[in-house]
Amino acid sequence: MNKVKDTTTETDILNAAKRIFQHKGMAGARMQEIADEAGINKALLHYYFRSKQLLFEAVFKMAFSMLAPQLNEVMNADSSLFEKIRKFSNNYISFVLKHPYLPNFIIQELNRNPEFVEKLIAEDHFPNIEKFKKQVNDKVTEGTIKPIKPEQLFINIMALNIFPFIGAPLLKGFINIENQTYNQLMEDRKTEVAEFIINAIKI
């Protein structure tokens, strides 16, 4: 009964489904296309995951669990506020450059299905930013940084790191540059975003 065997088929399916779902979303993805991508028969998808919905949820949770821990680790570390901002920006952008479709996939499906957030919160390892909030409030009180609500600072950090990937097609149009140049901008942002934020709040 042990899973000594390599579960290649199941993981093949998951990876194929991840690719298709991330490109087309839940509604736009087709079971047949996922089966083709995985190189198997469509019935096997149902054998392993019962329904499109369950397959989707498996993919979604996998995607979310690739991103959430990063946020959690950095935000709850013992490092200073500025270090957190630097580390998160660097880590996050490096990671997303390797998985460019992940953030958009998650945000998109959460918008279509807002009640899904509650399910995620109930799960383990959902990010918690209490420590970060306290840290910001302390620094504001002691006058080390400009007054700002922790929530606003948090939103700003997320926005500056995540949006450039989600809004890439639009931004490329506005700025009028090609993919490669845009990627170079992202590369630069690994450090520049953090400095931008720190400049905005330091006294």
Partner DNA sequence: ACTTTTGTTAACCATTTGGTTAAACTATAT
Partner DNA sequence: ATATAGTTTAACCAAATGGTTAACAAAAGT
Binding site for DNA (CB under 7 A): 1, 5, 9, 29-32, 40-44, 46-47, 50-53
> How deeply is 107 buried, as exposed, middle or buried, from its count of CB atoms within 10 A (0-12, 13-18, 19+)?
middle
User: Residue 171's binding partner, choosing from a copy of itself, DNA, none, with beta-carbon cut-off 5 to 8 A by kind?
Assistant: a copy of itself
C-beta closer to a copy of itself: residue 4 or 170: 170
Residue with tokens 């922790």: 150
CA distances from 114 to 81, 97, 117 (A): 30, 26, 6
Cα separation, 13 vs 53, whole angstroms: 14
Cβ proximity to a copy of itself: between 40 and 177 the closer is: 177
CB distance 102 to 66 below 8 Å? yes
Min CB(159)–a copy of itself separation in Å: 4
- The interface partner of residue 119, options being a copy of itself, DNA, none and the CB cut-off 5 to 8 Å by kind, is none
**Using the rule CB under 8 A, which residue among 104, 136, 139, 194 binds a copy of itself?**
104
User: Residue 50 or residue 149: which is nearer to DNA going by CB?
Assistant: 50
The one of a copy of itself, DNA, none whose footprint includes residue 19, by CB under 5 to 8 A per kind, is none
189 in contact with a copy of itself (CB under 8 A): yes
Residue 148 touches which of DNA, a copy of itself, none (Cβ within 5-8 Å per kind): a copy of itself
Q: Which residue from 111, 100, 98 is spatially nearest to 26, judged by alpha carbons?
A: 111
Task: Give CA separation, 103 vs 46, 94, 114, in Å.
Answer: 27, 13, 16
Residue 162 CA to residue 157 CA, distance in Å, equals: 8
Close Cβ partners of 157 (under 8 Å, ≥ 6 residues apart): 85, 88, 89, 197
Residue 5 C-beta: closest distance to a copy of itself, Å: 36
Sites of contact with a copy of itself (CB under 8 A)? 23-28, 71, 104, 106-108, 110-112, 114, 116-118, 120-121, 126-127, 129, 146, 148-149, 151-152, 154-156, 158-160, 162-164, 166-175, 177, 185, 188-189, 192-193, 196-197, 199-201
